[in-house]
Structure 1
């Protein structure tokens, strides 16, 4: 379980998301329209890194989500962002009657909301990875959250965002609890990630009883 949480993208792409994975050797990645993430085994070999380079191809970037991982010279680091990972308490789940399940037809609105709020990567096919819930007011999508990385014992809460005009009303908390209720109904434990400098999000998650499980980095790389 611990190693799955330390290498969540690989755990997802070799497990419940294997059907969408692009594969070369032990290297895995999501299609670019789904997510930007690249994954390697817990202790990658020289061949694994070579396969990652081939899988990325020229001019294409991939994002590794791991605790400290030395990057070999065959890859150039474009960006490294501190990340923290939290696991939810058993008291978190609470269904919410105002939430609605979002579908493919809602993706344009979801992408617009993400562009306004920048909760992290969400692309045209990200919705294929899990179930996303939204809250609407007067027909407008004003807040959403959903599930992304699916591990053997955990499922990630992702894309938590609220339109700027509706922030401060507790909508994010309600959606996090509602998504957590869906996750725990499957017998898994909710977890999530946020930027290491995102003090507002960290404060919210701690107030909801989340506990720190890993300090990580998102490292964006491309072939040299």
Structure 2
């Protein structure tokens, strides 16, 4: 697998996309305390700090989740006082550089009534976390065969000017037919029509997915990591100005 990194600099909005989304286009889904925020718990499992090096942000996160609470944040090598790193995962972030985006007449818009089928497909294919209200984050498209949902893709994180394509999955019995590519192109078409640029994430170990995304016009921007952290302090630190 050959990857070429682009645009990798520390000040880019995609370096902290959850924070940019929660304090921007997705503010209506946010629970926020000062310098920390998270998605409503039935929408998405992500938390964000404005700056992982700022002790005040960690104090705000502690106040947000409470003693003993856990949070999924950008990776930290050493958590702040009163916190423990439970686990760390690694991934890649890719951005659209030459994707051919196009609407697909065979794709249908999915909504709240489709959530049970979506959750069933996600459980069987494991594309990443998907909760009962994730469908509200943006346009989710599916392909059906004989009335049954067999493939899915949609919009998740939404930093200003960008939209993440996520939950890309296909029923194992229907793989190899290009359904994922069709849906990624279709979701991207809607993103482009808003004047925004698609991006996505994949597990660093998912070589097949990364290869597919590269082949259709995505380019690696950066390697990513996230940490599951637990608040071990008895109470949140008092915020200082």
TM-score norm. by structure 2 comes to: 0.88
1:95 matched residue in structure 2 = 103
Task: List 4+ stretches of structure 1 deviating above 4 A.
Answer: none
Deviation at residue 140 of structure 1 after TM alignment = 0.2
Contact 1:148 1:156 in 2 (8 A): yes
1:166 matched residue in structure 2 = 174
1:153 matched residue in structure 2 = 161
Unaligned runs of 5+ in 1: none
Q: Is 1:14 equivalent to 2:23 in the alignment?
A: yes
Structure 1 stretch 7-16 or stretch 36-45: which is displaced more?
A: 36-45
Q: Is 1:35 equivalent to 2:63 in the alignment?
A: no
Contact 2:142 2:149 in 1 (8 A): yes
Q: RMSD in angstroms over aligned alpha carbons?
A: 1.5
How far, CA to CA, are the matches of 1:141 and 1:34 in structure 2? 21
Q: Is 1:56 equivalent to 2:71 in the alignment?
A: no
Deviation at residue 195 of structure 1 after TM alignment = 0.3
Q: Is 1:136 equivalent to 2:128 in the alignment?
A: no
Pair 1:175–1:115, CA change in 2 (3 A) = same
Contact 2:99 2:218 in 1 (8 A): no
Contact 1:50 1:74 in 2 (8 A): no
How far, CA to CA, are the matches of 1:156 and 1:70 in structure 2? 28
Q: Is 1:197 equivalent to 2:205 in the alignment?
A: yes
Pair 1:196–1:208, CA change in 2 (3 A) = same
Q: Is 1:124 equivalent to 2:132 in the alignment?
A: yes
Contact 1:59 1:222 in 2 (8 A): yes
Q: Is 1:221 equivalent to 2:233 in the alignment?
A: no
TM-score norm. by structure 1 comes to: 0.95
2:94 matched residue in structure 1 = 86
Deviation at residue 72 of structure 1 after TM alignment = 1.7
**What SS does the aligned partner of 1:115 have?**
helix
Deviation at residue 73 of structure 1 after TM alignment = 3.3
How far, CA to CA, are the matches of 2:205 and 2:154 in structure 1? 22
Aligned match for 2:118, one of 102, 110, 115: 110
Unaligned runs of 5+ in 2: 1-6, 233-241
**What SS does the aligned partner of 1:53 have?**
helix
How far, CA to CA, are the matches of 1:91 and 1:51 in structure 2? 39
How far, CA to CA, are the matches of 1:73 and 1:208 in structure 2? 44
